[in-house]
């Protein structure tokens, strides 16, 4: 029971501090799951996050479900999912009741503009952490550049890029370009 409460509390902390979507949650998720509680390594967390991004639904919810399941089975997945969505439900309910009355106030508009700047910084930091854990050799760098280039010019579903990279990873391993 203590572990389930800890799962709920950890993911509620992630949920309450995540502004700007799934990418912004990576630093908080890493602190709570990897550094504080040691429920996963950075690499495992990024794998959960990648799968969570590819599966239908909200990235934060999917990632919480994967981590919770890994830590405490099915009930852990449910508890972690409830933990990550609970703060949002409460906050959105409270904000929805009053925001319509204050949305045109310049101070409120400025506050939201500043929060967007902060979210950009959080996303940038998440990209740097992902870069350090993902691009470790020349093959990964080439794959990154190919997918980055394609994404600039083609409007394809992220699933296409993920499947392409998975296939490339399998082929590179089979050809001996990457370690097994």
The Cα–Cα gap between 129 and 142 comes to 18
The Cα–Cα gap between 45 and 64 comes to 10
Whether residues 77 and 152 fall in one domain: no
Query: How many structural domains does the chain have?
Result: 2
Provide the pLDDT for residue 21: 67
Whether residues 103 and 155 fall in one domain: no
Q: How is 87-100 classified by DSSP, letter by letter? A: HHHHHHHHHHHHHH
Whether residues 148 and 175 fall in one domain: yes
Whether residues 80 and 147 fall in one domain: no
pLDDT band at 97 (very low <50, low <70, confident <90, very high): confident
The answer on pLDDT for 26 being more than 60 is yes
The answer on pLDDT for 22 being more than 80 is no
* Residue range(s) defining the domain that contains residue 143: 135-180
Whether residues 121 and 162 fall in one domain: no
In this prediction, residues 82-91 reach a mean pLDDT of: 92
The Cα–Cα gap between 165 and 172 comes to 10
Whether residues 111 and 63 fall in one domain: yes
The Cβ of residue 83 has, within 10 Å, a number of other Cβ atoms equal to 24
Whether residues 36 and 85 fall in one domain: yes
Provide the pLDDT for residue 179: 59
The answer on pLDDT for 3 being more than 90 is yes
**Phi and psi (nearest 5°) for 4?**
-65, -40
């Amino acid at each position: 029971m203590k572990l389930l409460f800890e799962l709920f509390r950890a993911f509620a902390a992630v949920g309450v501090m995540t502004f700007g979507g799934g990418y912004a949650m990576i630093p908080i998720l890493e602190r709570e799951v990897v550094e504080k509680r040691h429920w996963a390594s950075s690499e495992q967390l990024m794998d959960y996050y990648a799968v969570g991004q590819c599966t239908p639904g909200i990235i934060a919810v999917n990632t919480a479900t994967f981590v919770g399941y890994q830590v405490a089975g099915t009930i852990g997945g449910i508890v972690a999912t409830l933990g990550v969505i609970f703060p949002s439900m409460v906050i959105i309910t409270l904000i929805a009741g009053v925001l319509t009355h204050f949305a045109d106030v310049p101070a409120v508009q400025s506050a939201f503009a500043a929060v967007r700047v902060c979210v950009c910084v959080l996303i940038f930091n998440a990209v740097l952490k992902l870069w350090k854990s993902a691009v470790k050799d020349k093959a990964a760098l080439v794959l990154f550049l190919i997918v980055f280039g394609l994404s600039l010019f083609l409007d394809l579903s992220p699933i296409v890029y993920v499947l392409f990279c998975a296939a490339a990873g399998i082929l590179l391993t089979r050809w001996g370009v990457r370690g097994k």
